Amino acid sequence: MSSEAGPDTGARPDGALLRLIHQLLVVRTSGKLADHQRGYPRWELANAELRSLLEAGVGGVILLGGSAAELALRCAQLGRWAGQPLLLCADVEEGVGQRFDGATWLVPPLALGRLYGREPERALALAERYGRCTGREARALGLNWVLGPVCDVNNNPANPVINVRAWGEDPATAGALATAFLRGVQAEGVLSCAKHFPGHGDTSSDSHLTLPLLAHSRERLAAIELPPFQQAIAAGVASVMTAHLMLPALDGERPATLSKPVLTGLLRRELGFEGLIVTDALVMDAITGRYGAGEAAVLALEAGADLVLMPADAGAAIGAIAAALQGGRLDREQLEASAERRRRALAGLGAGAPGASGVPGASQPDPEAAAQPDQALALELVRATLEASPGGERPSQPGVNLIRLDSALAAPFLPATAPAVAKPEAQGWRTVLVEGRSPSPWSGLAEAPLALERLGPGPVLLQLFVRGNPFRGSANSAEPWPAALRQLAACGRLAGLVVYGSPYLWDQLQPLLPPGVAGVYSPGQMPLAQAEALARLGMGEDGGQNIFTT
């Protein structure tokens, strides 16, 4: 592991230098107000430390968790503590409601990628409205920087970390839709961010857990990975986020996030990007497993990054950057240029920009402006991207509502009142939850993997919540759902199938549905998507036309 700091000159950095260093850090905190409410205390700073860093000049905060109303209060609080214009951002790739309850939660971007293949003009219009909705609600709640769009081309179905977060599986689709989204976001006066440069789509490992390798040639990168970023840059994207992955064709020594050939050589010089370059979170294991918190921050700035996102230890990062400046390893003029890019980005938002709370004359977040989520757009997106395989007669009797999800403890889409549970139960179905590879429903047999005696009698409705998610380690579960589908069909117990999230699982299972058994695919997993999918199966009074014959 590399050393934490540069050489110790013995001199204490002056106040202006320390403030410059602080401006280049973006730290993480909870969207909730109290320390005990933090969902991830390992990564989210406590209020005392956060306030101290903001008062010292830290330039940005990334937020996660809480309701929309809480977020508005939190952003105003952070602005007061900072007393200066502040970058306030969130990973709201699927609308602000993906992270903050009460705002609009939209289908994942890849849903529009599939629609683009059938109705390109409609998909482009929806992508721009998607961006406008996200930008409008972000601004109303105090955020001024949306960490999206994902510009990665998800041409590897086994990708565990990008997957449905991408806008397309080919460069043309991904570039067109991501650019439409960012135009919508920035039209609402909010910064957008193209990520993860130079392209994280064709990986089969998760950079939250390990350092992926992308062993493609420079020519292949230029043909597949780079075009969406080039389109985003041409469209005026405000910022670009780096990828934690090795690209030997560009740099055989360091990951892209810490690579001068990638950030300065390729992104700045060859592609001509003049906006903000921000690292992906340096706390991720792809970086922390190889570099200390201080050394990672120094290497990122040395490579050409402007902003250091989520260093594993903010104090260590600040100390290491200061030592590197004093020792001549980092150039002060370069860091001042980064601070100037940050200043220009904030200035471009206007005097009443969100995130400027605490500055005389600045506007405050307005939670009432986002209190009514855009349910019309959310519903239109769900219905436009739903896919169905018609079936036969509705089951004459209720049976088992078998729901598969990663973990009941980490499933914000499945509260107790979620339609996936409540609607079948209202018609007499009994719910059985399967968490990942939990042993309860499995027999251990390859041809008959479900232990049907444990499920109990009656027809079985399969509802499978599967999608690529960071920290999962794999995009497609190794669970034997194709064999389970055949098993249930063979004994006449398969009542219907709903796949939420993964188009790859749906494409695998849909051809296996026997005649007379209905199936539905919904890219979205949120309750609104559940209600629509089940309505298509004839379970619920709301939503679209059901696909059972009556």
> Which SS3 state, helix, strand or coil, does residue 157 take?
coil
DSSP 224: I
Q: What is the CB-side half-sphere exposure of residue 34 using CA atoms within 13 A? A: 2
Query: What is the per-residue pLDDT for 544?
Result: 37
* Count of positions (residues) in the chain: 550
Query: What is the per-residue pLDDT for 206?
Result: 58
Q: Which of 280, 306, 313, 374 does the annotation list as catalytic?
A: 280
Closest CA to 401 of 435, 424, 426: 424
CA angle 50–281–7, rounded 5-degree value: 80
> Which SS3 state, helix, strand or coil, does residue 345 take?
helix
Q: Is 280 a catalytic residue?
A: yes
Q: Is 200 a catalytic residue?
A: no
Closest CA to 259 of 241, 247, 271, 269: 247
Strands of the 25-30 sheet, one edge to the other:
145-146, 87-90, 60-64, 25-30, 308-309
How far apart CA 395 and CA 111 sit, in angstroms, is 30
DSSP conformation letters of 506-547: HHHHGGGPPTT-EEEEES--SHHHHHHHHHHTT-SSSSS--S
Backbone CA torsion sign across 171, 92, 338, 281: negative
Residues 6+ apart with CB under 8 A from 71: 31, 63, 100, 141, 142, 143, 365, 367
pTM of the complete model beyond 0.85:
yes
- Burial (CB < 10 A; 0-12, 13-18, 19+), residue 372, is exposed
Buried/exposed 261-277: b ≥16 CB within 10 Å, e otherwise:
bbbbbbbbeebebebbb
Query: What is the per-residue pLDDT for 288?
Result: 80
Q: How far is CA 203 from CA 164, 268, 281, 391, 471, in A?
A: 14, 24, 18, 37, 14
Are β-strands 518-522 and 387-389 bridged in parallel, bridged antiparallel, or unpaired? antiparallel
CA 305 to chain centre: 21
Q: Which two tokens stand for residue 291?
A: 């570099």
Q: Which of 196, 200, 208, 244 does the annotation list as catalytic?
A: 208
Q: Which two tokens stand for residue 170?
A: 């080919």
Q: Is the peptide bond before 198 cis (omega within 30 degrees of 0)?
A: yes
Element (H, E) at 498: strand 494-501
CA angle 432–438–442, rounded 5-degree value: 75
Query: What is the per-residue pLDDT for 437?
Result: 56
Are β-strands 430-435 and 400-405 bridged in parallel, bridged antiparallel, or unpaired? parallel
Query: What is the per-residue pLDDT for 549?
Result: 35
Closest CA to 199 of 135, 253, 242, 248: 242
How far apart CA 467 and CA 474 sit, in angstroms, is 9
Q: What is the pLDDT along the chain (550 residues), one digit of tens a residue?
A: 333 444 444 556 788 999 999 999 999 999 999 989 988 888 899 999 999 999 999 999 999 999 999 999 999 999 999 999 999 999 999 999 999 999 999 999 999 999 999 999 999 999 999 999 999 999 999 999 999 999 999 998 888 789 999 999 999 999 999 999 999 999 999 999 999 999 998 877 655 566 788 888 999 999 999 999 999 999 999 999 999 999 999 999 999 999 999 999 999 999 999 999 999 999 987 788 789 899 999 999 999 999 999 999 999 999 999 999 999 999 999 999 999 999 999 998 854 445 444 443 345 677 676 667 899 999 999 999 999 998 766 777 899 999 999 887 778 899 989 999 999 999 999 999 988 656 668 888 888 999 998 888 999 999 999 987 554 544 455 689 999 999 999 999 999 999 999 999 999 999 999 998 999 999 999 999 999 999 998 886 543 344 433 3
